[in-house]
Amino acid sequence: MNTDELINAVKKWGAEKGIDDPKMQMCKLIEELGEMNHELTRGKFDSPEMKDAIGDTLVVLIIEANILGYDVIDCLRSAYDEIKERKGKTINGAFVKEV
């Protein structure tokens, strides 16, 4: 299954399950990010649970974008276009843009 087919399958799955409330998807996103944080704070960077939490986060974001009428790839492209030539430096592992 290629990326487009996979994204479409996720959107179809969400629609079939009746997932249509963007506020509830935001709650789900926070839950999944919490699971990622749980693994990170325990140093389990390569655990099956981390892989699952990252995947679940992507699923939630794909469904959230779809509910709101956005194409998730267009959102990613837009974000990349905004950051690709951004200037700044990395401090303590986080990129800080120049103002």
pLDDT in tens, 18-58: 999 999 999 999 999 999 999 999 999 999 999 999 999 99
Looking at the domain assignment, is residue 81 inside a domain? no
- Domain of residue 63: give its range: 3-71
Number of domains, the chain: 1
Within 1-99, residue ranges assigned H as helices are 3-16, 22-41, 48-67, 72-83
Looking at the domain assignment, is residue 39 inside a domain? yes
Looking at the domain assignment, is residue 80 inside a domain? no
Looking at the domain assignment, is residue 60 inside a domain? yes
CATH number at residue 31: 1.10.287.1080
- pTM for the complete prediction? 0.88
Q: How far apart are CA 39 and CA 28, in angstroms?
A: 17
- Report pLDDT digits (tens) over 57-82: 999 999 999 999 999 999 999 999 99
